[in-house]
Amino acid sequence: MITPSSPTPHHLQNLKISWLDQFLSPHNYLPFIFYYPSNGDENNEERSKQLQNSLSEILTIFYPLAGRYIDNNLIIDCNDKGVEYTEAQVSGCLSRLLEGGELETELRNHLAPHPVQPDNSPLVLIQFNMFESGGVAIGLCVTHRVADAYTVFTFVRTWATACKLGFDEVLHAPSFQLPSFFPSRDTISSPNRFIGRNHHKIVVMKRFVFTGAALSKLKAVVSASVNGSHQPTRVEVVTAVIWKTLTMVAQAKHGRLRPSLLSHTFNMRGKIAMPIPDNSCGNFINVALSHFTADDETKVQLHDFVDRVYNGIKNMVSDCARVSSDDELFVMAEKIRIETIKAFTRSEMDLYMFNSWCRMPVYQADFGWGKPGWVSGLYVPGVEMVFLVDTKDGDGIEAWVSLEEDTMLLFQENPDIKAFTGQEL
């Protein structure tokens, strides 16, 4: 275990979680892997020592992550027990992983630690992987109960800065004040976070890359159809083309158009009318909802789905901008949560869950041996979901799509998916 380099002050040792944290299961972890090709300096023993020392230093400001979650009391015991840190020697080839080949999926799944989830388990698990052929990868899992993607990437970027330049160069400490704005509530039951209703079926994950050139084509197609009323974003067009494809796949499987609800995770930092610190860490996310109804059969073109995505996000931004109190945000979030759960439990309706990490500092984590050559997520067993993340050049988007095996076979053969994620662009 890596513990903070100095003890957490007594007055900070009991951190109540927020009701936003309560919405997320303590058993869900956010897994990420950062890949670093060889730069000629393969002193991995020294690298690991630097990683551990700098990790210990930044845990003094990310002190909740070194604690333990106590479910009965809805608190993080900031007891400095530390984060789990392990090392692994890898016989595989990093260059093959960077190519993203499907054959390397099994190896990739071994590069991040897998939490066993007992009581009093670490909130953060880290694995430093050293490839025999050169290069390293850092895999980590952070419990979603106390951190969203923004928090994870802030943590990693801060750790990288401390490792490369020294802890004194870390200029901004994170804020853990969200529970004081949004205190936990006794009325919220512990979530059973979307355990698959078809849990007996096999869920597979595949990566689909929309290059900058492909996105330019997609945006041009959509813009020509909407008469310039709205210039779609990269995230909107990728979400729309995937949603449209999933709608067509569902029609092929069931013989008719089916209603669906699309949920898109939304970062609320800087979006609400409350004095929330911009550097707030924890969970500060909501969900933007978009609807497709079975009587929309005349509106199944790509621009129609872009409009639905755009309106869902626009409405969420507008609603958040009017929020000026804890109660107002809770009423809004609870309404969304109930609608999402109802959609999930209705067998005649499809729910598509999207998470976007685009424009987050995914590729800024330079520990002293360069920025990562690639950053990937990890397969989460049994969960159907779509994760969107920038390509390294910042122009394209990687879509990590998890679907039931039979649905994936139809999805990957859809003409739009083949056209806009292929190489002939």
Catalytic residue among 296, 366, 395, 416: 366
Task: Report the distance separating Cα 172 and Cα 424, nearest Å.
Answer: 44
Question: Torsions phi, psi of 122, nearest 5?
Answer: -60, 150
The residue count of the chain comes to 425
Residue 401 is inside which H or E element, if any? strand 397-404
Q: Of the candidates 386, 97, 43, 391, which has an alpha carbon nearest to the alpha carbon of residue 242?
A: 386
Instruction: Mention every residue, 6+ apart, whose C-beta is less than 8 A from residue 134.
Output: 37, 38, 42, 94
Contact 53, 41 (CB under 8 A): no
Catalytic residue among 21, 80, 144, 264: 144
Task: Report the distance separating Cα 16 and Cα 178, nearest Å.
Answer: 10
Question: Torsions phi, psi of 104, nearest 5?
Answer: -95, 5
Tokens of 19: 């009701």
Tokens of 143: 């419990």
Instruction: Mention every residue, 6+ apart, whose C-beta is less than 8 A from residue 162.
Output: 54, 57, 58, 169, 170
C-alpha distances in Å from residue 1, one per residue of 114, 282, 371, 400: 15, 22, 26, 31
3-class SS of residue 4: coil
Tokens of 120: 């009093």
Task: Report the distance separating Cα 99 and Cα 104, nearest Å.
Answer: 9
DSSP labels, 270-285: TTSSS---TTB-S--E
Q: Is 278 a catalytic residue?
A: no
CB-facing half-sphere around the CA of 18: CA atoms within 13 A: 23
Q: Is 83 left (phi over 0), alpha (psi -120 to 50) or beta?
A: beta
Task: Report the distance separating Cα 22 and Cα 385, nearest Å.
Answer: 20
Q: Is 77 a catalytic residue?
A: no
Residue 263 is inside which H or E element, if any? strand 260-267
DSSP labels, 205-226: EEEEEE-HHHHHHHHHHHHHHT
3-class SS of residue 9: coil
CB-facing half-sphere around the CA of 140: CA atoms within 13 A: 24
Residues acting as catalytic residues: 144, 366
